[in-house]
């Protein structure tokens, strides 16, 4: 296997890792206002992702940096074409990150409500926008022979791209519900389990629709590829186990596999291209015509071999350390009213 193909696989792994790990963050961030009926329950929901959300976002940074280093032609065309969408994504990431830190800085209800909405809307927009961008890579964008994007913002709103974005939002919501079911207790866990039912059915419909649409967009065989079959099976298991009072870990694992297979299948169908030109197939960006030189890829490969296992080991250890459930503190009873003093006889 050639180095540029290896780096296409590595970048695909970065994107898959980002959506699997950050997906439950997005789901919890979107659902915490719905499933948490009190401010304490909302804080508990957000505390479940507290140890990981900022570390999980590093996978997105590494995916962008890896694309820049390994495929500068792909990076230049993709980031110029998706410039406004990526700017909106960056704004949502910043608003969401600041909201986590600033929400508890004041007890003012308006202050807390504003940051709560930043968390909710940001968590919903990010997978939607990034999903549209990933779908556009396969659906095709107007790109000329110089690999320059020649369209406008509305050309980014391809039907398949929008479908991909909505599908990833649905999977993230299910992933968040199974994570809350795994990490919380009492009423909050019960509501997460109840929400997994309708979210699971919606995710099943979206994933099956996405598989059918992907086959139509990618062309070739009408039979779904193995990863797409895995995605359908995994989301069915996630939906079924999500409503069970047991198997919390298996439900979360199944929703993670569903996201992995859905995002991974996009890159499988994309290869050997990295971006499709809707103007002319001859203008497609491929792993060959957009890759860096051999020396740069060799240096990057050595770095990846050294540091990638360390990152995986660290993240695995952090999940082990913070594996306990986050419990909702008991509601403190209001102090009894003082008894009136008995007047002296």
For each of the domains in the chain, give its residue range(s) and CATH number, in order of start: 3-321 (1.20.1630)
Band of pLDDT at residue 303, cut at 50, 70 and 90:
very high
Band of pLDDT at residue 115, cut at 50, 70 and 90:
very high
Flag whether pLDDT at 329 surpasses 60: yes
Confirm if 325 and 184 have CB atoms less than 8 A apart. Answer: yes
Place of tokens 């964008």: 141
Name the H helices within 82-185: 83-102, 109-139, 159-183
State pLDDT tens for residues 172-213: 999 999 999 999 998 999 999 999 999 999 999 999 999 999
DSSP-assigned letter for residue 325: -
Q: For residue 59, how many other CB atoms are within 10 A of its CB? A: 21
Flag whether pLDDT at 45 surpasses 80: yes
Q: What is the mean pLDDT of the chain?
A: 91
Flag whether pLDDT at 39 surpasses 80: yes
278 vs 262: CA distance, rounded Å = 23
What is the percentage of the chain residues whose pLDDT exceeds 90?
A: 79
CA angle 101, 102, 104 (to 5 degrees): 95
Flag whether pLDDT at 332 surpasses 60: no
Work out the angle between the directed axes of helices 58-70 and 3-35 (0-180°, nearest 10): 160
Sign of CA dihedral 182, 183, 189, 195: negative
């Amino acid at each position: 296997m050639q180095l540029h193909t290896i780096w296409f696989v590595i970048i695909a792994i970065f994107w898959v890792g980002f959506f699997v790990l950050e997906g439950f963050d997005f789901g919890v961030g979107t659902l915490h206002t719905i499933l948490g009926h009190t401010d304490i329950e909302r804080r508990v929901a957000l505390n479940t992702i507290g140890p990981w959300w900022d570390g999980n976002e590093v996978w997105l940074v590494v995916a962008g940096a890896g694309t820049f280093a390994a495929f500068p032609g792909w990076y230049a065309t993709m980031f110029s074409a998706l410039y406004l969408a990526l700017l909106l994504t960056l704004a949502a990431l910043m608003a969401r990150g600041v909201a986590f830190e600033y929400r508890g800085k004041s007890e003012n209800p308006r202050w807390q409500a504003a940051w709560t909405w930043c968390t909710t809307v940001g968590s919903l927009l990010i997978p939607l926008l990034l999903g549209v961008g990933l779908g556009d890579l396969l659906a095709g964008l107007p790109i000329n022979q110089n690999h320059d994007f020649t369209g406008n913002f509305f050309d980014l709103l391809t039907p398949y791209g929008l479908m991909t974005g909505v599908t990833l939002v649905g999977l993230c919501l299910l992933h968040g519900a199974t994570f809350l079911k795994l990490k919380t207790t009492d009423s909050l866990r019960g509501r997460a389990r109840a929400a997994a039912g309708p979210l699971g059915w919606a995710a099943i419909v979206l994933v099956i629709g996405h598989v059918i649409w992907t086959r139509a967009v990618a062309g070739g065989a009408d039979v779904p590829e193995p990863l797409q079959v895995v995605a359908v099976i995994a989301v069915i298991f996630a939906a079924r186990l999500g409503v069970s009072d047991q198997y919390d870990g298996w439900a979360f694992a199944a929703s993670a596999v569903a996201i992995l297979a859905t995002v991974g299948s996009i890159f499988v169908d994309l290869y050997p291209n990295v971006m499709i030109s809707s103007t002319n197939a001859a203008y497609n960006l491929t792993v060959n015509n957009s890759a860096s030189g051999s020396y740069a890829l060799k240096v990057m490969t050595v770095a990846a071999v050294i540091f990638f296992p360390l990152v995986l080991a660290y993240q695995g250890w952090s999940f082990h350390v913070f594996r306990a459930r986050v419990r909702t503190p008991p509601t403190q009873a209001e102090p009894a009213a003082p008894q009136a003093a008995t007047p002296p006889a």
